[in-house]
Amino acid sequence: MKLNFSHAVLLEDDLLIAPDFYQYFRSLRRALDTDESIFCVSAWNDNGQISLVTKDPQLLHRTDFFPGLGWMINQRHWLRVRKVWPKTQYDDFLRLYMLKNGLVCVRPELSRTFNIGRSGGRNCQLSSRYTYSSKFYHNYLSRMALNRFNVTLTKSAVDKVIGRLG
């Protein structure tokens, strides 16, 4: 609030970022600022396992599920949500907040972040005896696709997510 930023990107400390991570958010600021139904832009695709995604780095989606794992919010939405921000479990809170308010996030087909396998501040050790979190990492998170190229989103790719329902 003191610095009066127009946008903020929130990034957890256990994520790798794609070569176009910053350009991705820069390209999607217009969508976030012109379409009031867009609450955030996320760099993460929850359904982004390598076997499930196309290889199109221009493909974007609207979702009513808060994806997290690297996301941008603008000042307009922050000023509204900060009044009711919870002390814990912000991701669950934002999922409900978005649903109650008819909001969506924009997410990529190919994630711009990759979780490197930390959970609760501890590294998930992949061994023959998995803990729940390391088994989850091994079976799910480690198989996510990450965009590997420096891509500038086209105007038409961005326009496709503005002002329509997913």
Q: How far is CA 101 from CA 10, 62, 63, in A?
A: 21, 15, 13
Conformational region of residue 21, where left means phi above 0, alpha means psi within -120 to 50, and beta covers everything else = alpha
**Residue keyed to tokens 């198989």:** 143
13 is catalytic: no
- Pick the catalytic residue from 33, 91, 92, 159: 91
- Calpha distance 142→127 (Å, rounded): 14
User: Identity (one letter) of the amino acid at 133?
Assistant: S
- Calpha distance 44→109 (Å, rounded): 8
**What are the tokens at 157?**
């790719």
- Calpha distance 134→98 (Å, rounded): 30
Active site residues: 91
